[in-house]
Structure 1
Amino acid sequence: MMTRLGTADADPGEIDTGRLEVGETRDGSSFGLPVAVINGAEPGQTLYMQAVSDGDELNGVGVVQRVVPRLDPAEISGTILVVGIVNYHAFQVAEHRNPIDDTKMNRTYPGNENGTSSERIAHATFEAATRADLIVDLHQGSTSRMIDEVRVRCGKRHRMHEECLELAKVFGCGYILDQKGPDGQLARAGPDDGIPTIDPELGGAVGWDETSIEKGVSGVFNVLTHYGFLDGDSDYERQTRASGFDQYGSPVGGLVTFERELGQRVSTGETLFEVTTPFGETKAEITADSDGILWRTRRLPQVATGEYVCSVGTDIDTY
């Protein structure tokens, strides 16, 4: 049976690329999101994958760029639907938010076909996503420094929690954040529609990070193997899971020096970072309020009073 997404259509055993039209630009020209359909030769489940719903988070499209050429429809059971760049307008100007409506795209799901620019794009991509049995929404930590992780955002009381957590474990970045996310995230809206959904946050980089991209590529192939799209053994390791965050700002202005590396354990009362003058004079030492893992940090050292500095993942266990 032929499968279509936008202008891409593929019969069993075929792959096609095209555009999913979602509106017009300011000069009245139509525009569309780049899409791909990989229709396996044998029947099976459907995976939906998207990237760049935040316009400066590029590691996800790096994953798509490497994964799609390696997919041979003759060897696949099931169907893979891909939207390579979701936040079209923000991607064009290398910004996080959609500049047409100054909106963070991943707060607009499930969208509105008659709404703002972001809501219309969210509606179109959510319609594609809800055709699937599994959803992978590729992200990264924008301009912050952070570990590679997978986020489960539906909340522990959600009926789809265990399925989402299993998908996160299979993806296998090594770390899972299991914490209910804000309204409007695809990783919230997908499970509400009964579809296991994860939000891999593939590190933090200004632009492009090869190590995180390769982890994302491995994660996608882990999913494809585990869920039967590809033949092979499904062998995955236990993941380190955090169920909360402690966020830390600076009580003073100055230059930040971290006492721990990303991914390292911290104990209550240990120094996380020091703030100094430009001459190295100590102004403040900030200690951890809880045991945890240094999860995310600001990239640049200069801070003003009250400005965000870092996050520690808390309530740590393994899954």
Structure 2
Amino acid sequence: MVTLGTATAQPGETDTGRLAVGETRDGSEVGLPVAVVNGADDGKTLYLQAASDGDELNGVGVVQRVVPRLDPAEISGTILVVGIVNYHAFQVAEHRNPIDDTKMNRAYPGNDEGTSSERIAAATFDAATRADLVVDLHQGSTSQMIDECRVRCGTRHRLHDECLELAKVFGCGYILDQKGPDGQLARAAPDEGVPTIDPELGGCVGWDEQSIQLGVEGVYNVLRYYGFLAESHSFEAQTRARGFDQYGSPAGGLVDFQKQLGDRVTRGDTLYTITDVFGQQKDVVTARSSGIFWRARRLPQVATGEYVCSVGTDIDSV
């Protein structure tokens, strides 16, 4: 029997329930939606979570499509799922937890006697570290971004190769292999011996069906490659970036991009121009390094110094 919160499943069963993480301001219990898929045969354990950031909904779309398709009679091993991590932010469609103004994916491994975000992080970290593999579904917030998978433990980490392999298996086509900030699940779980990846499924307002389908395929790639399902899976070489150049606006005005997501960029290429409201050019921004046009703001209006776009750098194939 496998239990996660109130979800309990015998071998060959699936169950859903809630994982208690505290109370709201009126004293109502807060329970994250969870599922347990307990395979009929023994095998590895996969932990899958979504919506660590409350406005990153593509991962919820993946969970919504994957869980009903999983037949525990055909699975070897166990799949633990938290469908919505950042409960409070999800309710109000915001990025950060409004109870403590915290970005959830900076709160791991958490503290079960701490702030709202720390308590949620502690409860989900406990579930994650019961697993052999972790997939933490994200997206590039509401910006525009290519579909990519992040390895955040750092290239010198003892589990780096296992995390990189997991990212290649997931199969977004692009990998960012760069040590992440403290407090990320994809940083904290490898320290406990669990290979972890952070798929960034595009970036949109609401959700994007193409990125969701890529995420569904990625989860199934993992299930096949690591023996949860009988079918085999082999992965192809992917494009890796090991750094990011971020660009801000040198002036206020309107952005006109000269590159599209996924375009190759050569040092000196024009990335975007800034014009005033009458179309008069105010500034031109060129690439500092060669790489791939990776992420861009969604709205055209910018103030001086405001974020505009990112270029993935130090590119190779893995």
So what's the TM-score if we normalise by structure 2? 0.99
Whole-angstrom distance in 2 between the partners of 1:307 and 1:87: 27
Question: SS state of the match for residue 27, structure 1?
Answer: coil
Gaps (5+ residues) in structure 2? Answer: none
Residue aligning to 1:212 = 211
Question: SS state of the match for residue 243, structure 1?
Answer: strand
Whole-angstrom distance in 2 between the partners of 1:220 and 1:184: 24
Letter in 2 for 1:82: V
What's the CA shift string for 1:227-268, capped at 9, x where partnerless? Answer: 000011212211100000001111111100111100000000
Residue aligning to 1:271 = 270
Letter in 1 for 2:151: V
The equivalences for 1:32-47 within 5 A come to: 32-47=31-46
Residue aligning to 2:187 = 188
Is residue 248 of structure 2 the alignment partner of residue 249 of structure 1? yes
**Structure 1 residues 162-171 or 275-284, which shifts more?**
275-284
Is residue 107 of structure 2 the alignment partner of residue 119 of structure 1? no
Residue aligning to 2:13 = 14
Whole-angstrom distance in 2 between the partners of 1:24 and 1:305: 41
Residue aligning to 1:223 = 222
Residue aligning to 2:156 = 157
Question: SS state of the match for residue 316, structure 1?
Answer: strand
Residue aligning to 2:261 = 262
So what's the TM-score if we normalise by structure 1? 0.99
The equivalences for 1:98-113 within 5 A come to: 98-113=97-112
Whole-angstrom distance in 2 between the partners of 1:3 and 1:104: 30
Runs of 4+ in 1 over 4 A off after TM superposition: none
| Cα offset, 1:143, TM superposition | 1.1
Whole-angstrom distance in 1 between the partners of 2:229 and 2:3: 21
Is residue 314 of structure 2 the alignment partner of residue 315 of structure 1? yes
Letter in 1 for 2:149: V
| Cα offset, 1:31, TM superposition | 1.6
Whole-angstrom distance in 2 between the partners of 1:155 and 1:233: 29
Gaps (5+ residues) in structure 1? Answer: none
Question: SS state of the match for residue 65, structure 1?
Answer: helix
Aligned identity (percent) is 78
Residue aligning to 1:49 = 48
What's the CA shift string for 1:19-52, capped at 9, x where partnerless? Answer: 0011111001112000000000000000000000
| Cα offset, 1:279, TM superposition | 1.5
| Count of residues paired in the alignment | 318
Residue aligning to 1:303 = 302
Whole-angstrom distance in 2 between the partners of 1:235 and 1:126: 29
Whole-angstrom distance in 1 between the partners of 2:80 and 2:223: 13
Question: SS state of the match for residue 95, structure 2?
Answer: coil
Whole-angstrom distance in 1 between the partners of 2:78 and 2:187: 23
